[in-house]
Amino acid sequence: MNIIQLLFWFLSVLAVFSALMMVTSKNPVYSVLWLIGTFFAISGHYILLNAQFLAIVNIIVYAGAIMVLFLFVIMLMNLNRETEPRKNRWLKMAGAVAGGCLLLVLVAALKETAGKEQFAMVNEGNIGLIRNLGKELFTTYVVPFEISSVLFLSAMVGAVVIGKKD
Amino acid sequence: MPVINYIYIAIALFSIGVVGVLTRRNAIIIFMCIELMLNAVNLMLVAFSKMHQNAAILAGDLAGNAGSDGQLFVFFIMVVAAAEVSVGLAIIVMMYRNIHSVDINFLNRLKH
């Protein structure tokens, strides 16, 4: 087992474990922190796949901006204690069973699929570098890029309008 | 690395997100589980883009940038997720201001 496989399994176990802890922990602040751990593990996967631009953007946008926003909202609402009331145990179990069934169905659907022997290129290849992606983004995808700026503007206006005290 | 490993991990993360949405009642945690599902899809798209590049190089296309579409899709998913989070958290804050709770079981006014 070489170093790349070792890193791959380490990051995978870290991501899945952090996600499980995020779902199961009672305190919302701990949930946010575990989710940040998951995002860092996924960024490590991106670096392993040599998608360096996406790794950096994932850390800056998700772990940096979005999770700080979540943390601020939780602290503004003073939710950093275990306020979640006792809930029907059967409903919880039904949710877990339904999610497990989804997992089972997806794994079973992959069992007979073609192309399982394809390999993802790890630790080499230059399409994830910022030079390549920037060239592609500003030539082929320039119209969606501009439209996303309009989306951001509307999201900003919408957040201000919704959050305004009336 | 076989691409099936990445698919299994993405499926696991996505299912954990679905279980979180179904079992938790705190609206903020449900929102975080949705973010987790988006990230699982992102991981799978990046793995598939690298798979396409590998196939293109094996087919003899050494200088092309086959597969960079997938990574740009991931970029746009991140853009949309950022916009979605800003609006969604504003809605949750408004909901907390009105009913003084983020428990989604209090949001059953449409039922009556």
Confidence (pLDDT) at B59: 83
Tell me how many domains chain B contains.
Answer: 1
Residue of A23, A58, A72 to mutate, testing the B interface (most B Cβ within 10 Å of its Cβ): A23
Q: Give the tokens for residue A106.
A: 């997806």
Average pLDDT over residues A54-58: 93
Contact B4 A116 (CB under 8 A): yes
Contact B46 A49 (CB under 8 A): yes
Contact B80 A28 (CB under 8 A): no
Confidence (pLDDT) at A113: 80
Say which CATH number the domain at B92 has: 1.10.287.3510
Residue B2: Cβ within 10 Å count? 14
Q: Give the tokens for residue A164.
A: 């305004």
Chain mean pLDDT for chain B:
88
Q: Give the tokens for residue A139.
A: 């030539």
Average pLDDT over residues A11-40: 92
Contact A103 B20 (CB under 8 A): no
Phi and psi at residue A8, in whole multiples of 5°? -60, -50
- Is A120 within 8 Å of B59 (Cβ atoms)? no
Q: Which residues form the domain of B10? A: 3-111
**Percent of the residues in chain B that have a pLDDT greater than 90, as a whole number:** 51
CA distance B9 to chain A (A): 7
Confidence (pLDDT) at A75: 87
* Beta-carbon pairs below 8 A across chains A and B: 240
Residue A89: Cβ within 10 Å count? 8
Phi and psi at residue A78, in whole multiples of 5°? 55, 45
Confidence (pLDDT) at B112: 64
Confidence (pLDDT) at A152: 93
CA atoms within 13 A on the CB side of B53: 26
CA distance A71 to chain B (A): 10
Instruction: Quote the DSSP letter at residue A62.
Output: I
Cβ of residue B104 closer than 8 Å to a chain A Cβ: no
A130-152 burial by CB neighbour count: b if 16+ within 10 A, else e?
A: eebbeebbeeebeeeeeebeebe
A115 or B59, higher pLDDT: B59
A35-39, long-range: CB within 8 Å, 24+ apart, which pairs? A35/A67, A35/B32, A35/B35, A35/B36, A36/A63, A36/A67, A38/A14, A38/B13, A38/B36, A38/B39, A39/A63, A39/A67, A39/B39
B 74-93 residues inside an 8 A Cβ radius of A: 74-76, 78-87, 89-93
pLDDT above 90 (res B104): no
Confidence (pLDDT) at A124: 78
List Cβ neighbours of B94 (8 Å cut-off, separation of 6 or more).
Answer: A162, A163
